[in-house]
Amino acid sequence: MNKFFIEIFDSQSRSIDNESNKNVIFNEKNLKISFSHNKFCYHKPSKNNNYFVLSSISLRDRKRIIKKYDFINIEKSDSEILLDLYLKFGSKIFKIFGSSFFFFYYNFDKKNALVARDHIGINSIYYTMKNDSLFISSSLNDLKKNCGKNLKINYTILKKFLNLDAFSKDQTFFEDILKLPPSNVLEYKNNSISIFNYPKFKDLTLSDSNTSQIEGLKKKLKKAIIRKEELKEDKVGFLFSGGIDSSTILSFFSKYDKQHRTLYAYSAKFSHIEDSLKKKIDESEFQSEVLNTLAVEDRSYETEKLSTISNLDFYLDLIGQPFFFPNLYLSHEAFKKAKNDGVTKVFNGCDGDTVVSHGFEYYEELFLKLKWFKLYKQIDKLSKNVNLSKRSIFKRTVLDLLFYEKKLYFSAKNKHKQILSAPIHSNSIEVESLIADYYGVEEVYPFYNIDLMNYCINVKPDLKINKYPRYILREAIKGVVPEKIRKRIDKANLTHGVIYSFLNKDKDVIDKHLNNPHQDLKEIFDVLDLKNSWNNLLNDPNKYSNFSNVPSQIFAYVVVNRWLEKESLR
């Protein structure tokens, strides 16, 4: 995780002693910079230019830039190269990056600054104004320490969170601290802030051939998974569920990596779940399909004694604000095991099913464009392979999904873009990366490679769903991923594990918080109604494992109530 703290102050103000004084690498004129990661590169002011640049780019992007712009001096550092590009092209440079990046620029002559966040939000960027100074940091907690005890809670966001509108692109739970959304730039001039975005996705012209697009996806997957950044790693870890996405990453890495390093698969087991429900959550049979055929160290772990609520104080201290991640305990245990194995890079298949879409946007496009006969034929073809009636498929994939953020999308491509721009993606990274970093682990997200995302957006919509959802992915991984997984159409329902934890590990904690709501909660949330829902869940837990928001509401409430308790003591 790239950690940094930046302070831009006027001549009358200086920062108080805080975390920003650690690892300070520049503290002159109106600028103070600290960071603690060897991935950062910086450029200090010189006789030739009066700029400071702090940056981080991938090896592949550096190569891409040098190839694209022949005026670049390849002997220069990353920060010097990016400075040259920025001075020549301005913010247009950010759309060329294919991986996560960070760029901060300060002009000492004009006393203005600029910071850019990558397309997906791999690098967190929080900021606040105080005493005519601007503070920018990768850490919400560092900004909280800097602001002292005068922070105001953002009750608008708090209320939305309790109602499961849990993800904001630019707000935190403090009125005074904001975050820069992915694919956005913060510009600081004349002591004022302006935010603008740069293009996140590109429209590409792909070959119309099905075979060509399938092969193209396979190549993009290989490039996203096999990276130069891991060349020096003797050990590589994988969050491995047994689903299509995690199986694709592990299988591709095993097949196409030429370094022959030791691979570790971190998989959750749910042996404690009763037999009638176990098949809906435990994926051991699919995990075995990969683990029994590849040279991989099996680091599976049982989850009976694990839960997120039972470790809530640890998470809140680390994250610094409420979070919606009921299954965080799963990756937490994996990172803990990775540290014990000496693994510092762990691949995460997060949101593969959003990037390589299920294809339902195509059904909606056909429906809205009144191509109903074609839609009927598509649904009929799908129903024969997924064991669902045509009526059920139509309801689930068209009617239930038609309005996205209260808007209709007549283009499958445009809706896919919008879904990939939702803040849920960056929010989950912001949370999970903190847990990984705590154990000295860096996560790698192949499906968030922007080149792969652009390719998937531009694939023909009828290739995304054809006989099966995610048809193009299933074809692209043929011969690499075991057939049992490649043709898999179900997905584990992890809510069964959450409810088991509620009943067998977290019940006393949940009861305590429901019976002792913080005063602030009483004014904005119906606690009594949630207590009734909790009692109903206790009487019939299986009823709430599918298509119910109650487990999520209980989790969100407990997280907020405990956070408010801790904030009252701060």
Asked whether the predicted pLDDT for residue 12 surpasses 60, the reply is no
Please state, for a pLDDT cut of 90, what percent of the chain lies above it: 77
Q: What is the pLDDT of residues 392-413, one digit of tens each?
A: 999 999 999 988 878 999 999 9
CB 290 within 8 A of CB 247: yes
Section 445-449 average pLDDT: 95
Token match 């550092």: residue?
A: 77
Alpha helices in 12-77 (DSSP H): 59-68
Asked whether the predicted pLDDT for residue 17 surpasses 80, the reply is no
CB 136 within 8 A of CB 127: yes
| Residue 403: count of CB within 10 angstroms of its CB | 11
Asked whether the predicted pLDDT for residue 14 surpasses 60, the reply is no
Estimate to the nearest angstrom the gap between the alpha carbon of 430 and the chain centroid: 7
Asked whether the predicted pLDDT for residue 527 surpasses 90, the reply is yes
Taking the alpha carbons at both ends of the chain, their separation in whole angstroms is 26
Which residues are CB-neighbours of 536 under 8 A, at least 6 positions away?
A: 543, 544, 550
Q: What is the pLDDT of residues 229-261, one digit of tens each?
A: 888 899 999 999 999 999 999 999 999 998 889
pTM of the prediction? 0.93
Q: What is the pLDDT of residues 337-392, one digit of tens each?
A: 999 999 999 999 999 999 999 999 999 999 999 999 999 999 999 999 988 999 99
Handedness of CA 205, 207, 213, 218 (dihedral sign): negative
CB 534 within 8 A of CB 517: no
In angstroms, the CA 297 to CA 33 distance is 41
> At residue 237, what are phi and psi to the nearest 5 degrees?
-105, 160
Which residues are CB-neighbours of 72 under 8 A, at least 6 positions away?
A: 65, 66, 81, 84, 85
Per-residue model confidence (pLDDT) at position 389: 94
Residue 49 confidence class, pLDDT cut points 50, 70, 90: confident
Per-residue model confidence (pLDDT) at position 73: 87
CA atoms within 13 A on the CB side of 283: 26
Residue 21 confidence class, pLDDT cut points 50, 70, 90: low
Mean pLDDT score of the chain, rounded to an integer?
Answer: 92
In angstroms, the CA 414 to CA 431 distance is 28
Section 157-161 average pLDDT: 95
CB 91 within 8 A of CB 103: no
Section 5-14 average pLDDT: 72
Please state, for a pLDDT cut of 70, what percent of the chain lies above it: 97
